[in-house]
Chains A and B, each alone.
Chain A
């Protein structure tokens, strides 16, 4: 029976495994291979002229790749921590008012179920320099009108607008996950804290955060990966130009796609692959780093 089960099990797995080998494992391996090809031109001559490391040196020294690294890192390192802290606070606030929790939770979840490009375009209208809502709002506080996403916008304003949109877009999922994590915390801890007359901030720091720490780690790793591959948000807010001035807000993924799209040019596909592999290694590095750093501080 054991033996019979063996081949039968593989039969059940076959549809999934075949798809995964063709569309995930082979492409992962092949991306590394392509990134070392010399003068590769995929659809015309399927063969490379040899093996080289220059694709990487080209990409790493490329002006737009450096810009993409800077944009992606700033976006990830600001928006991920901010959205985690904000969503934790919101989840805790939600948990303190159980009666109306479901209502707020539904409203806060809306950004998750909407088309990112459609909402990004709405944000673009809001950030419009001349008649946008955002400048009108700042005007109430006596702040003059700035260009946030147009051709005269500074880098700082563009990335601020992009971060506001990114945070808005990413809160929904985190609030939901943290809120359901909170309901799983044993009430005894809070009762004990009450007896000790612990303040709310102490309870938050000493009970809520430590007990949620495995979830916080998981969320910070997945949202870090998500933030490092930012692309749709840039398209939504800025369009194909990728910025107020073309490519001001280029990201690593946008860089990959730009070179991929020009596959007719010799070697461009390999540049795209080298950039994609670089992104993969960066992601791997941060996931590992987060896991190692937090291992000491996580309470399971």
Chain B
């Protein structure tokens, strides 16, 4: 194939080098654009209000000049207002709630999807393909349409009482409706289908029941997929905003996203304390990034096969 290019060998090489340089410049610009918001979040959280308001903005800040006061302020108890006696940003309360909701939802989702994926992948029954197609089609429906009735359902179940909601009711309201996922069922079904039939029949001959076969053979074999599902699903609670806001009667029952917006704006003057706001944003962002860098491969592999977020 090289002969084709012999004539223009030189110009071909220059072109190739120029192209590679272009690619790196382009990707470099994209990298900067992707990172700037993170950088600005961190650097703003380390500035005093006077530094933040400086024109033109301070773009680089020497480590000596870093101010941790904004972070300290988040944990100071508030003297007045709706959060009286609590920290300005009750990070640990929100974090605890978020982790709890995340763990419960993930356990539920994993169990229901494993069972359903097994039925769709291994068992034959009347209406299987129709049911599967109907379930898949729900993925195209904007979830906002369900929320109206789900709120009423949660209310009728007694989980949302504006005056006397208990913590466990709030947790039930935030977890039960999300304990299943069509996409993860679909994803897991694909993995289950790759496990050879012979294994199933051999196990049958040995007198293994379906249920034993599922837990002792299929689940261990499909573990990488299940781990991906667990990780992706647990990250969901970090982004949940509207539903937790809707079904919780008390601020102390809510999740990290809920406490971020509005908490740092003085209602009488309308001024926002950007330093504290960005410090809170950093606190919320860091745990997610830690999870991401720990499970980078599983997360990226899972997402590259998916099409859903929120």
Contacts and interface: CB of A to CB of B under 8 A. Distances in A.
B262 A104 contact: no
Contacts of B281: 115, 118-119, 121-122
A223 to B, nearest CB: 9
B228 interface: no
Contacts, number: 277
Contact of A125 (B40, B116, B141): B40
Interface residues of B, number: 98
A253 interface: yes
Interface in B260-279: 260-262, 265, 274, 277-278
A144 interface: no
A113 B299 contact: yes
B309 A104 contact: no
B235 to A, nearest CB: 7
A97 interface: yes
B203 interface: no
A167 B119 CA distance: 39
Interface in B114-151: 115-116, 118-120, 123-126, 128, 131, 135, 138, 140-151
B150 A131 contact: no
A23 B23 contact: no
A106 B182 CA distance: 27
B61 interface: no
Contacts of B27: 90, 93-94, 97, 104
Contacts of A179: 304
Interface stretch (A62-70, A202-210, A232-240): A232-240
A9 interface: yes
A231 B240 CA distance: 12
Max chain A C-beta neighbours (<10 A), residue from B26, B177, B260, B277: B260
A23 B151 CA distance: 10
A113 B235 contact: yes
A107 interface: yes
Given A31-B149, A90-B30, A276 B144 contact: yes
Contacts of B303: 109, 112, 173, 176-177
Interface residues of A, number: 100
Max chain B C-beta neighbours (<10 A), residue from A8, A15, A23, A131: A23
A48 interface: no
Nearest to B308: A222
Given A200-B19, A279-B144, A109 B300 contact: yes
Interface in A258-280: 260-261, 269, 272-273, 276-277, 279-280
B24 interface: yes
A248 B135 CA distance: 37
Interface stretch (B49-57, B63-71, B73-81): B49-57
Interface stretch (A52-60, A74-82, A132-140, A154-162): A132-140
Contact of B145 (A28, A122, A235): A28
A23 B150 contact: yes
Interface of A: 2, 5-6, 8-10, 12-13, 15-17, 19-20, 22-28, 30-31, 34, 42-43, 89-90, 93-94, 96-97, 104-119, 121-123, 125-126, 128, 130-133, 136, 139, 168, 171, 173, 176-177, 179-180, 191, 194-195, 197, 200, 218-219, 221-222, 225-226, 228-229, 231-232, 235-236, 239-240, 253, 256-257, 260-261, 269, 272-273, 276-277, 279-280, 283-284, 287
Interface of B: 1, 4-5, 19-20, 23-24, 26-27, 30-31, 33-38, 40-41, 44, 52-57, 59, 111-113, 115-116, 118-120, 123-126, 128, 131, 135, 138, 140-153, 155, 176-177, 179-180, 182, 185, 210, 235, 238-239, 241-242, 246, 256-257, 260-262, 265, 274, 277-278, 280-282, 284-285, 288-289, 291-292, 296, 299-300, 303-304, 307-310
